[in-house]
Chains A and B, each alone.
Chain A
Amino acid sequence: MKYRIRLVSTTRYDAAAPRGAHVLRVRPRDDARQRVSGFQLEVEPKSTGISESTDFFGNDTQSLVIEEWHEHFTFRATAEVERIDGVNFTGAQTAPWEQVRDGAWVSQRIDADSPAHFLHPSRIVRPTPEITAYAAQSYAPGRDAFDAARDLMQRIHDDFTYDVDATDVTTAPADAFAARRGVCQDYAHVMIAGLRGLGLPAAYVSGFLRTLPPPGKPRLEGADATHAWVSVWCGDAAGWIDFDPTNAILANESHIIIGMGRDYADVAPETGVIVTSGKQALDVAVDVTPLG
């Protein structure tokens, strides 16, 4: 499936800022699951230069500095992405989850895809006893790793209420869990916290979801902004499998991947340092248009 992606983000500052330094992570990933072409990025005000790089986890970054007084910062990213079908996991048997867990802890791999990076507490996601106990209900002894993860995903979807007003980008998983409310970011963080609490590797994936559903299908939650879901390590044979707890589905060709990391902090579309005293207001618009 081929898409045209458009992301427009504007941050308005109450007080003008003399300078801003930003790191963007908005270019969809090129990997086995998708091909990216024609990526374009415009920023406003004009930057003195955008330097492109790839971070540890293989996500593309654009770093830029603005050297003029400004009251807003806008970036527009566009790209065409071909999402390749059939690469993702389809549901064959994986190993018992304890075996997957023990293998991950003694793994000899330390490349970006290694499960070892995704076992530990990260900036936003720290396992809590409550979330771990909740997740444990899906993990009976000896249960198949894939099966258990799918069950956990379904339970989070069923037990949580999608609510854009309940949380913000800084909400801790523990708070979203206590409220059983939030958006895709919170669903993903809670699921990751549960998995890591059980000693299992789990990663955060940011991306887009096609805006308009195929004919006859319901519109998916999270399509009007950037989306997030969870990649679960299912052992050396199956590797990483992507679960979308917000919609209780496995990620499919509607899911366009931007970045992968330990939690939102690793893949935030924009990280910035600006010198301003006032408040900031963020406005993001996303369009994902299927191309034939």
Chain B
Amino acid sequence: MVELADPAASILTDYAPLDGVYDELMDAAGRPRAHWRPFVDALARLGRAEIARRADGAARRLHEAGVYYRAYDRDADQAWPLSSTPVIIDTADWRAIEAGVIQRARLMEASLADFYGAQRLVSNGDVPAAVVTGSPDFLRPMVGAPPAGGRYLHFYAADLGRAPDGRWWVLADRAQAPSGAGYALGNRIALSRTLPETMHELDVRRLAGFFQTFRESLASRSAPDSAGVCLLTPGPYNETYYEHAYLARYLGFLLIEGEDLSVRDGKVFLRTVAGLKKVDTLLRRLDADFTDPLALNPASQLGAPGLAEAARNGAVCFANALGSGLVESRALMAFWPRLAQRVLGEDLLLPNVATWWCGDPAVRDDVVSRFDDIAIAPSFLGHRNPIFSRGAVSGRDLAPAQRDALLDQMARRGGDFVGQEMVKLSSTPVLNGDHFEPRPFQLRVFLAATEDGWTVMPGGFCRVSSRSDPLAINMQRGGLAADAWVISGAPEGYRSLLPSGASPDLRRSMGALTTRTAENMFWLGRYLERADASLRLVRALAARASERDHDAAAVSEKLVAALQFWGAVPDPEGEEWSAADAAHHAMRANDAYGAPPVLVRRALNAASAIRDQLSPDAWRIIKALDRQLTEGASAPFSETFDRAERSLRELAAFSGYAHENMTRTTGWAILDIGRRVERGLAISRFIGRFGVGDTTPAALEALLELCDSQITYARRYFVTASPAAVADLLIFDDDNPRACAFQAARLRALLDDLPTSARADAAKTFRESIVQLEASMTGSTPDRVDSDFVFKVDQAFLAVAGSFSDLYLADQAAPR
């Protein structure tokens, strides 16, 4: 027997397993199980304070890694609450789990093939037809159409629990679009930095190999000239969007939404800035019913019309196939033991929760007779029965009125209900303050299809209850997430996801840029630059608000007029705007399309649609800027100058981060094009208002300030501002980053970073618009700059923006 070291004992002195429950850490005699010993010893060495410190670090790293989920009812991103203690599973237990879930995945696959194919399991009486037809995921358009790729399931997950006798049970099946594998990966990365020595000492099995196999298996289905594997997400409003973005990045798949797809002549294409690219493999995180508004849910705006038909005809491989969610029905759990025999000729290696389907009157009567000792649950997903608003119920917990209502419903429509054995979950330690407490948990394990079978992720995603009630039906949403550590029987070599050879799919996925992403990039650039110009006007005005001098007052009037023209303040209702009121209002306005808070919010919306393309720092800056402007809405006028100044600094910081950290050259080029066009427009309009015609030194000074060029000017000319010298600096000087000519030169340089478009005419028009822009300036000299001239430059910038949209973004509007 192993001698219990004192420190270990001290760490576990107050750890008391729950009655009648299997505890992962402690055996019945109150000793740590052998496979937990290295972990307990390591923690004892670290001490309580260090453990708590490291736990904090884990949570922070998870957040930094971009592992969030989003609650539909909340605006904010939620960090996943990660337990600093893993669930440790020994080799023998894991072998049993592995064999059990692989068998189950085979059973699911074969059953799906029958339900959508020959349907013998129904006609032979092994499953009543109503059990199949009752699932909202039994997609009738997919009946009789074997899926491309030869299988329904590419990725499958099972929720497991451990019974008091130590056996693992299947609690639920996930086949629609299983979530959690990305979170498991995030949990692992966070924890491996928290407890690196312990992981090494325990020989915890690594996860990378699983993901590599999964990626290769999917990528091998994708033709070399296609867009590669695309991960189809419902978009940023989905609660697991960050997992989609995270997985897409990790696996090297392109993250796309339904509107990126177009089905033509029965084939599926991705709209990219380089034209249409054929799509043959879609990793689907969008529920099947939403994939096609024509053949499936007509209310869906998340899919693309024709996708289901393309799947039917084998033109596109969905992972998982449309309709796979059928096997998630609880009603089917009553039949899996029998189906395992019928389909595989085997007994289930891992039992599932004993389940009785009440569509058979005799079975229902039996369930009703045990009403108080049994759990009652809806047979199918998608039910809207308020009795189950928090999941399955136990008869004995129901109030009399609910009890009567449920019994009445079971008498009328028994098939909507199943009875299930009440399952007690095992417990695992979680750190609460500086001591451990046992908490019930479920383990989700993930399987990926390979060419010749299935591979299981050696680990998993654990959901740990926030309470100590071990009944599975009382597990609530929330609680903690925990990593699962599978102890390796033998040491493993190091594996990383970096490709071993030249991997074509990796290169492709970096290159393809969807038109939706391009459009959001372009507008992100434009809105940020427009906000910049708007803020400069506000700052200039706020600085002059108290001046009484005649020339300065005239400049203020011009600034107010410019703000109005910009749409940063609404047209005055009665009296003209005073300088102070206009500046103050613009910084708080949500009623004016050109006000800084509105422009920043639009930039934020564009950014949130392309989050996976932005560095976390760039994203945080836009978020912070938006918050700053929203929260400062009630600030007095005296703070207006400082607020504008601070916002301008944030914008400059964004440019810096975007410049330094954006690796996708096409996306970066498009963002920059948006900024250059918008900056050119702002400068030419500033010049038109302050620099030509009847101008004054005070107006020219304001102009230099608006264009951030006072210092350059002072260095270069040593004279008070003259219209020609200012025009030279702000229009013709292609070394000044705030001159029109500089923007034109950048635009010309950016042409080379853009992909070749299949539309030669539109490409030519775009190129010519830049030539025209340059020509609008080269034909003149500073002393001949007048309002007609700057108007021509202004129009030339607009023409560049227009022809760019026509070339790369117009796909939405043009016939397709």
Q: Is B128 an interface residue (CB 8 A)?
A: yes
Contacts of B298 in A (CB 8 A): 265, 268, 271
Residues of chain B contacted by A55 (CB below 8 angstroms): 140-141
Q: Which residue of B lies closest to A126 (CB)?
A: B384
The answer to whether A273 touches B305 (Cβ under 8 A) is yes
State whether B134 touches A119 (Cβ < 8 A): yes
**Stretch touching chain B among A72-80, A109-117, A158-166, A252-260:** A109-117
Cα A23 to Cα B380 with chains together (Å) = 29
Interface string of B124-141 (1 = CB under 8 A from A): 110011101110000011
Q: Spot the interface stretch: B28-36, B408-416, B528-536.
A: B408-416
Contact B141 A119 (CB under 8 A): no
* A102 with B361: CB separation less than 8 A: yes
Q: How far is the CB of B241 from chain A (nearest CB, A)?
A: 24
Interface assignment of B294: CB less than 8 Å from any CB of chain A = yes
Q: How far is the CB of A107 from chain B (nearest CB, A)?
A: 5
Chain B residue, CB-CB nearest to A112: B140
Closest chain-B Cβ to A269's Cβ sits at a distance in Å of: 13
Distance between A264 CB and nearest chain B CB, rounded to angstroms = 11
B122 within 8 A of A: yes
B141 touches A68 (CB 8 A): no
Contact B133 A116 (CB under 8 A): yes
Given contacts A21-B294, A56-B141, A108-B125, whether A68 and B815 have CB atoms under 8 Å apart is yes
Q: How far is the CA of A109 from the CA of B120 in the complex (A)?
A: 10
Complex CA–CA separation, A123 to B293 (angstroms): 13
Q: Which A residues lie within 8 Å of B133 (CB)?
A: 110, 114, 116-117, 119-120
In the complex, A67 has a CB within 8 A of chain B: yes
Q: Given A56-B141, A271-B298, A273-B294, do A107 and B130 touch, yes or no (CB 8 Å)?
A: yes
Given contacts A105-B128, A110-B132, A119-B134, contact A198 B412 (CB under 8 A): yes
Roughly how many angstroms separate A21 CA and B814 CA in the complex, as a whole number? 15
Question: Taking A108-B122, A271-B294 as contacts, is the C-beta distance between A69 and B414 under 8 angstroms?
Answer: no
Complexed CA–CA distance, A21 and B262 (Å): 11
The reply to whether the CB of B488 lies closer than 8 angstroms to some CB of chain A is no
Name the one of B297, B383, B816 contacting A123, with C-beta atoms under 8 angstroms. B297
Across the interface, which residues of A come within 8 angstroms of B812, CB to CB?
A: 275
The verdict on A63 contacting chain B, using a C-beta distance below 8 Å, is yes
Judge whether A35 is part of the interface by a CB distance below 8 angstroms: no
**Cβ–Cβ < 8 Å partners of B119 in chain A:** 110
In the assembly, what is the distance between CA of A275 and CA of B141, in Å?
24
Q: How far is the CA of A256 from the CA of B141 in the complex (A)?
A: 25
CA distance A50 to B128 in the complex (A): 38
Chain B proximity of A128: nearest CB distance (Å): 10
Residues A114 and B309 in contact in the complex (CB < 8 Å), given A56-B140, A105-B414, A199-B413: no
| Interface residue? B42 (CB, 8 A) | no
Q: How far is the CA of A134 from the CA of B382 in the complex (A)?
A: 25
Chain A contacts of B306 at CB under 8 A? 21
Chain A hits for B129, CB < 8 A: 107-110, 114, 116
Question: What is the CA–CA distance of A109 and B414 in the complex, to the nearest angstrom?
Answer: 19
- B359 proximal to A (CB < 8 A): yes
A106 lies within 8 A of B128 (CB): yes
Mask, A208-229, CB within 8 Å of B = 1, is 0000000000000000000000
- Establish whether residues A69 and B815, one from each chain, have CB atoms under 8 Å apart when the complex forms: yes
Task: Tell me the A130-177 residues at the B interface (CB within 8 Å).
Answer: 132
Is A18 among interface residues, defined by CB-CB distance under 8 A? yes
Q: Is residue A81 within 8 Å, beta carbon to beta carbon, of the partner chain? A: no
Establish whether residues B134 and A56, one from each chain, have CB atoms under 8 Å apart when the complex forms: no
A108 and B412 contacting across the interface, CB-CB below 8 Å: no
A197 within 8 Å of B (CB atoms)? yes
Residues of B261-296 contacting chain A, CB below 8 A: 293-295
Q: Which range contains the number of A residues in contact with the other chain?
A: 35 or more
A110 touches B122 (CB 8 A): yes
Question: Does B360 sit within 8 A of A, measured CB to CB?
Answer: yes
The closest CB in chain B to the CB of A116 belongs to: B129
Q: Tell me the complex Cα distance, A116–B122, Å.
A: 11
Q: Which residues of A contact B141 (CB under 8 A)?
A: 55-56
Q: Measured between alpha carbons, how far is A265 from B384 in the docked complex, in Å?
A: 19
Residues of B within 8 A of A114 (CB): 129, 133
Task: Collect the chain B residues with CB atoms within 8 Å of residue A23's CB.
Answer: 294-295
CA distance A57 to B413 in the complex (A): 24
Q: Are B816 and A18 in contact, CB atoms less than 8 angstroms apart?
A: yes
Known contacts being A107-B128, A108-B125, is A273 close to B359, with CB within 8 Å?
no
Q: Which of B581-612 contact A (CB under 8 A)?
A: none
| A63 to B132 Cα, complex, angstroms | 28
Residues in A with CB closer than 8 Å to B490 are none
- Which chain B residue shows the least CB distance to A273? B305
**Which residues of B are found within 8 Å of A109, using beta-carbon distances?**
122-123, 129
B-facing residues in A49-71 (Cβ within 8 Å): 55-57, 63, 67-69
CA distance A31 to B196 in the complex (A): 71
Q: Contacts A106-B359, A108-B125, A126-B384 known; A116 to B814 CB distance under 8 Å?
A: no
Q: Which residues of A contact B293 (CB under 8 A)?
A: 271, 273
- Per the bound structure, the CA–CA distance linking A110 and B143 in Å amounts to 11
Q: Which of A119, A120, A132, A197 has the most CB of B within 10 A?
A: A120
A102 to B295 Cα, complex, angstroms:
32
A116 touches B815 (CB 8 A): no
A262-290: contact bitstring with B at CB < 8 Å (1 yes, 0 no)?
00010010011101000000000000000
Q: How far is the CA of A198 from the CA of B413 in the complex (A)?
A: 7
B128 contacts A63, C-beta separation under 8 Å:
no
Once bound together, how far apart are the Cα atoms of A108 and B816, in whole Å? 45
> Which residues on A sit within 8 Å (CB–CB) of B359?
105-106
Instruction: For the complex formed, measure the closest distance between the CB of A83 and the CB atoms of chain B, giving whole angstroms.
Output: 27
Per-residue CB proximity of A167-197 to B under 8 Å, as 1/0?
Answer: 0000000000000000000000000000001
B361, A21: Cβ atoms under 8 Å? no
**Chain A's nearest CB lies how many Å from the CB of B577?**
33
Q: How far is the CA of A105 from the CA of B134 in the complex (A)?
A: 10
The answer to whether B123 touches A120, judged by C-beta atoms less than 8 angstroms apart, is: no
* Contact between B360 and A106, CB atoms less than 8 A apart: yes
Residues of B within 8 A of A69 (CB): 815
Give the CA-CA distance A107 to B129 in the complex, in Å: 6
Q: Nearest-CB distance from A140 to chain B (Å)?
A: 14
Residues of B within 8 A of A105 (CB): 128, 130, 359-360, 414-415
A102 CA to B130 CA, complexed, in Å: 11
Residue of A nearest to B139 (CB): A56
* A275 vs B816: C-alpha distance when bound (angstroms): 10
Residues of chain B within 8 A of A21, CB atoms compared: 294, 305-306
CA A127 to CA B128, docked complex, whole Å = 22
B76 within 8 A of A: no
Please name all residues of chain A whose beta carbon is closer than 8 Å to the beta carbon of B415 when the two chains form the complex: 105, 119, 199
- Give B780-816 interface residues, CB cut-off 8 Å to A: 812-816
Contact flags B344-382 to A (C-beta < 8 A → 1, else 0)? 000000000000000111000000000000000000101
Contact with B along A17-42 (1 / 0, CB 8 A): 01101110000000000000000000
Cβ distance B354 to chain A, nearest Cβ, rounded Å: 20
Asked if B294 contacts A108 (CB within 8 A), the reply is: no
* Residue in chain A with minimal CB distance to B126: A108
Q: Taking each of B133, B294, B812, which has the highest tally of chain A beta carbons within 10 Å of its own beta carbon?
A: B133
A21 (CB) vs chain B CBs: closest residue:
B305
The complex places the Cα of A104 from the Cα of B413 at a distance, in Å, of 11
CA distance A22 to B128 in the complex (A): 35
Q: Cβ of A116 and Cβ of B128 under 8 Å apart? A: yes
| B-contact 0/1 string along A82-109, CB 8 Å cutoff | 0000000000000000000010111111
Residue of B nearest to A61 (CB): B295
Report 21 cross-chain contacts, Cβ distance below 8 Å, ordered by A residue: A18-B814, A23-B294, A55-B141, A63-B294, A67-B816, A106-B130, A107-B128, A107-B129, A108-B124, A109-B122, A110-B122, A114-B129, A116-B132, A116-B133, A119-B133, A120-B130, A121-B382, A265-B298, A271-B293, A273-B294, A273-B305
Residues of B in contact with A (beta carbons under 8 Å apart):
119, 122-125, 128-130, 132-134, 140-141, 143, 293-295, 297-298, 305-306, 309, 359-361, 380, 382-384, 412-415, 812-816
Nearest 6 A/B pairs, CB to CB: A116-B129, A56-B140, A273-B305, A110-B129, A105-B359, A21-B305
